[in-house]
Chains A and B, each alone.
Chain A
């Protein structure tokens, strides 16, 4: 078993990764609560945005403008999808809505593979100026990108919570989560509220894609399917609570990385999101069944 000192660097990397998972998870939950859509294209949107950023940087476009392009692309495509397909899907079962986003995933994934081919073993990367500077915590090197990733997760979670609680638009989103039709009859412009949710989800997809391209890899396959870890956090939160999503995402990121130095478990660490999600869902279900039984008694 590794010593405490051996685990320390993995806490830093786990927190950074967990922060980005949290950011992604919050985006998924907010959209689901407002529209009933579980956006499975979240990772693909970030992936393509990040690849666009890479191309722009390579073409000599200034870094900040290229990073902005990633967020703008993801936001625009997500908003466009929401405006075009949102109304048609509004009254469909959430299963149908979720499956519809797989179509967008496949289109983006195929396009990314076509436009940024990996033929010839090409490798791409995005780096931030914050990658090569940082500070030491004990014996552990922490770079500013890792700090930004964790901070982004915290800030987005807190800001989204405040937004949903204290703003008119946020209140409207929460109302729509309960009942879209009743909310509409109360005079809430549901289309506009939904569009805002789509836009917010797209912005977060772009931000997450950009951060993950630096922290993990700039690869369409990797980034498209990294949404799965966030999805596990969202499942634990039962598609409702952004606070639980944040905590679950951090726990997933931490546990995943803390298993790395344990030789007997290191090859199974990619199962972490699913194991945690499965255990959490089983425990929650059991708790609810027991609660229902007590109520019935």
Chain B
């Protein structure tokens, strides 16, 4: 009987392996999370109409003095982005940086170049707080733009408020939308999920299955879709999945079983996780077992459409908070593509929602800085200019974008729905308002009103 007992060294190995396994699970399960996303409702004029003659756009248009490099005192701006295995938002800051490089090469801001400091973080509150202090105390940034982080808004919101910074960001955490000093260009996961659920309800889905990553904030996100389904008197099943997903087949089967043949499955995951679930559904022949599939903004990528193939054409409907780049031929879209090509070597994802967000945030910041008439740039006048941005046509959003002195900020609350079409995402529904049935949207509109649709 003693033979069955492993040697002492083997026993120690077993204990070590068990400990490592547990530690590794802890690390891996926290690595992949939700993504900046968006939402929408109620049809309006699509802003994707082609404008003839705008295809050839020069990057010299991004500054006031084409071809003249800015040589004045730099204007320091900063941003904090998540960059960790499984979740990286560096493309957003890198695209903003590309825009600033373009501006600097073409006159800058009244001759002043923009110096942009990018800090990265790994979902560590202490690190994020230190990043903010680094930007303020060491880099002496005058404004914060391009922040895109899973928890940065929650960690730093009061710090920025105390110092008088008005942040222009891509939001994820609730505080990115529910505070007076943060205004996002995107809608974030809650309102994007609202938009996806809203589309499914408009298609008369008899039941909604809403599935998302099991990460902090899921309750806040789920509240929006729950309110919409309740108002439509449609049952909703809320699911969460540990990420990274290791059993996509099971997840897909459960979603489809719960939704039923006339129901809809709506996903709120990062692109890799969403792709895993959708591919599992396809392999098991489940894509036609429900009325439709929906997804929040992160699914709006061409590589997802390419990976899925034609079986998902007009079967998967993705909420898209920014103007679809594939089918848009406007001046802003062409400038975005030109800057990306000339200055965006660090933007690894290329054309897509993330780089569009970075472009839009930088565009708004430059517009605001150009309104400053004082001889020097300070924290006070830069942030006053950010806050004063009103009815600005970004060329990337359905609506004109306004910061404003509001207690909450959801300036992007109208967007598109797209669907795969042989490897591309094409528009399935034009600009549509996110329903005020979501109490947060209702609260925002009660103070800020409904923004004008972009021309």
Contacts and interface: CB of A to CB of B under 8 A. Distances in A.
B56 interface: no
A102 interface: yes
A181 interface: no
B14 A235 contact: yes
A56 interface: no
A184 interface: no
A220 B32 CA distance: 12
Interface string A252-289: 00001100110000110110011001000100000010
A54 to B, nearest CB: 11
Interface string B318-349: 00000000000000000000000000000111
A93 B254 contact: no
Contact of A238 (B10, B349, B350): B10
Contacts of A267: 214, 240, 242
Interface string B13-29: 11011101110110111
B414 interface: no
Contact of A288 (B5, B257, B282): B5
B375 interface: no
A257 B254 CA distance: 10
A6 B256 CA distance: 11
Interface stretch (B38-46, B63-71, B104-112, B299-307): B299-307
Interface string B31-74: 11001000000000000000000000000000000000000000
* Dominant SS among interface residues on chain A: helix
Interface stretch (A70-78, A80-88, A120-128, A202-210): A120-128
A121 B22 contact: no
A239 B6 contact: yes
- Report the contact-size class of chain B (Cβ under 8 Å from the partner): 35 or more
Contact of A274 (B22, B246, B283): B22
A225 B28 contact: yes
A191 interface: no
Indicate the member of B85, B90, B348 with the most A CB atoms within 10 Å.
B85
A266 B239 CA distance: 9
B207 to A, nearest CB: 15
Interface stretch (A60-68, A159-167, A193-201, A226-234): A226-234
Nearest to A288: B5
A118 B18 contact: no
Interface residues of A, number: 71
B4 A131 contact: no
B253 interface: yes
B6 A123 contact: no
Interface in A32-55: 32, 36, 38, 40
Contacts of B282: 131-132
A121 B250 contact: no
Contacts of A12: 249
A125 B348 contact: no
Contacts of A273: 21
A16 B348 CA distance: 35
A123 B306 CA distance: 11
B87 interface: yes
B56 to A, nearest CB: 26
Contacts of A132: 282-283
A59 B5 CA distance: 51
A221 B86 contact: yes
Contacts of A143: 283-284
A231 B349 CA distance: 35
A88 B271 CA distance: 43
Contact of B246 (A216, A238, A292): A216
Given A9-B253, A295-B2, A216 B247 contact: yes
A117 B272 contact: no
Contacts of B355: 120
Contact of A123 (B28, B254, B301): B301
Interface string B245-279: 11111110110010000000000001111111001
Given A119-B90, A267-B240, A220 B14 contact: no
Interface string B277-296: 00100111110000000000
A113 B83 CA distance: 11
Contacts of B275: 123, 125
A288 B25 contact: no
A243 interface: no
B244 interface: yes
A173 interface: no
21 contacts: A36-B9, A38-B16, A102-B20, A120-B352, A121-B271, A121-B298, A122-B271, A123-B271, A123-B301, A124-B307, A141-B286, A143-B283, A215-B249, A217-B276, A225-B27, A226-B246, A231-B17, A256-B250, A260-B250, A267-B242, A277-B18
Interface of B: 1-2, 4-6, 9-10, 12-14, 16-18, 20-22, 24-25, 27-29, 31-32, 35, 83, 85-91, 214, 239-240, 242, 244-251, 253-254, 257, 270-276, 279, 282-286, 298, 301, 303-304, 307, 347-350, 352-355
Given A12-B249, A257-B250, 13 more contacts: A38-B13, A95-B13, A119-B348, A120-B349, A120-B350, A123-B274, A125-B279, A131-B282, A222-B246, A224-B28, A238-B4, A257-B247, A266-B239
Interface of A: 6, 9-10, 12-14, 16-17, 32, 36, 38, 40, 93-95, 98-99, 102, 109, 113, 117-125, 127, 131-132, 141, 143, 145-146, 215-217, 219-222, 224-226, 228-229, 231-232, 234-235, 238-240, 256-257, 260-261, 266-267, 269-270, 273-274, 277, 281, 288, 291-292, 295
